[in-house]
Amino acid sequence: MGKIKPFVKEKNFLILMTGVFINELGSGIYLIAGMLLVLELSGSVLYSGIAVFATTLPGVLGFLIAPLANYMKYKNGLVSSNFIKALLLFTIPLIHYTVGLDVWYLIAVLFLSSLLSQFTYPIESTILTIIAGKDNVVDANAYLQTLRQSMDFIFIGSAGIIVALIGSVNALMITGVCIFLVAVTYTFFTFKQPAQPDNQDPSFKGTLKQYPKDLKGGFIYIKGSIIPKMIISAVIINFLMVIMTTNMPAFSLIKGNGNEAIYGFYLAALSLGILAGTIISPKLKHIDFGKMIIFTYAASGVMWLGTALLPLIPSLILFSTGAVSISIFNILLISSIQKQVETHYIGRVITLLTSIATIGMPIGALVGGVIGDSFSPVITVIVGSMGMIIFSIYWLSSSVLRKLPNIEKVNLFPERAAE
C-alpha cells in the first residue's frame, strides 16, 4: 500500500472529506427518491425528462454564477448555500403532508437545488488547490472521487430499498438532514482566503461593475487553448449519458419486472464503474491521453449495447464497466486544468467548461424523454451506446485529439508556451 500523502492529514482536507462523506450519504437517496417521486406524481417518462432538464439547466448557467464566488469568502459561500438547499428539501415533506405535493413544485425545488450547486462547485474546485497544493491535485481529486463513488456504490444500492420501504417523500427528508450537517461541518474550515486583485473594488457598486469583466475574463483566458476542443467532447458525452439516465427509472422497472429497488442497483452499478475509473486514473496519467480515450469510449459503447439487450445481471455488470471511461476522462482533464490554471481563474475556467459541456444535458433530457415515451426506454440505451462509439470515432478523426500525449505532458495553452 502506498504512503499516505501529507495533505490527506491536513485539517481542512479532512473537513472537506467529511463534508463530501455526509453529502454523498444523502445524495444517493436524493437521486433515486427525486426521480421516482416525479414518475410517481406524473406517471409519465416525459415528466422524468422535464425533471432532468430542470436539474441540468442550471449547469448551463453555471458560468454566470461562478464569478459571484469571488465576491465573498469561500467558507461563507459553502455554508450558506448548503443551508439554503437543506431548507428547500425540507419543504417537500412539509407540503406533501399538508396541502399536497404537486409535480411542478417538486421540479422547481430540484431546479433551485441544482442552481445552488453551481455556486458551490467552483468554490470546492478552488479550495482543493489551496488546501492540497497544485502539485497534489491529481491525487487529491482521486481521493475525493474515490470517497464519492465508494459512498455512492454503498448507499445508492441500499437507497432504492430505503425508498421502497419508507417512500420517496420521507427519503428526501433524510437528504435534507445530511445537507444541513454538511453546512455545519464546513463552518470549521480554517484555510486562508486568497488575496483579491489590488484593483478589485469590494463595494456592491464595484462588484456590479467588476462582474461583467470577470465573466468575460474566463472566455478570454481559455482563448487559444485546447480546452474548447475538450468542451465539445464533454458536450457529446453529457448529451448521450442523459438520454440514457433520464430513462433509467423506467428502464430499471422493465429489467426488474416492476421492482423499484432495481433502479438503485443500476445507479450503484454506475457508481461502481466510476469508482473503478477513479481509482485507476492516477495510474493512467502516463498513457497517451488521446489513444486511451478512443479505446475506452469505444469499449463503453459496446458494453452499453449489451446493457440494453441482455438480462438483468449481465446488463448491470456491463452498465458498470462501461462507466469506467467517464471518470478517467473527467479526473485527468479537471486535474490538468487545476494544475495549469492560475488559482484566481480555476473556479471560472472549470465552471465555464462544465457550463458549456452541460448544454448537452437538458437537450439530452428532453430528447430522452420523448424517445422513451414514444418508443421504449430500452431504445434510449441503444442510442446512447451507439453514440459512444461515434464519439470515439470523432476523437480518432481529429489529429489534435488523437495525438494528445499523456496528461502530465498535455499543454492546455500551447500558444502561451510558444511566446
What are the sequence ranges of the domains in the chain?
9-190+204-414
| Per-residue cell: 293 | 480515450
What does pTM read for this prediction?
A: 0.65
User: 271, 211 in Cβ contact below 8 A?
Assistant: no
Superfamily of domain 9-190+204-414: MFS general substrate transporter like domains (1.20.1250.20)
Higher pLDDT pick, 198 / 77: 77
Helix, strand, coil shares, percent, the chain, to 5: 85, 0, 15
Q: How confident is the model at residue 1, as a pLDDT?
A: 38
Closest CA to 89 of 183, 17, 158, 189: 183
The answer on pLDDT for 83 being more than 90 is yes
Question: What are the tens digits of pLDDT across the range 389-405?
Answer: 988 988 888 887 888 88
How far is C-alpha 396 from the chain's CA centre? 26
Q: Please state, rounded to an integer, the average pLDDT across all residues of the chain.
A: 80
Question: What are the tens digits of pLDDT across the range 104-118?
Answer: 999 999 889 888 887
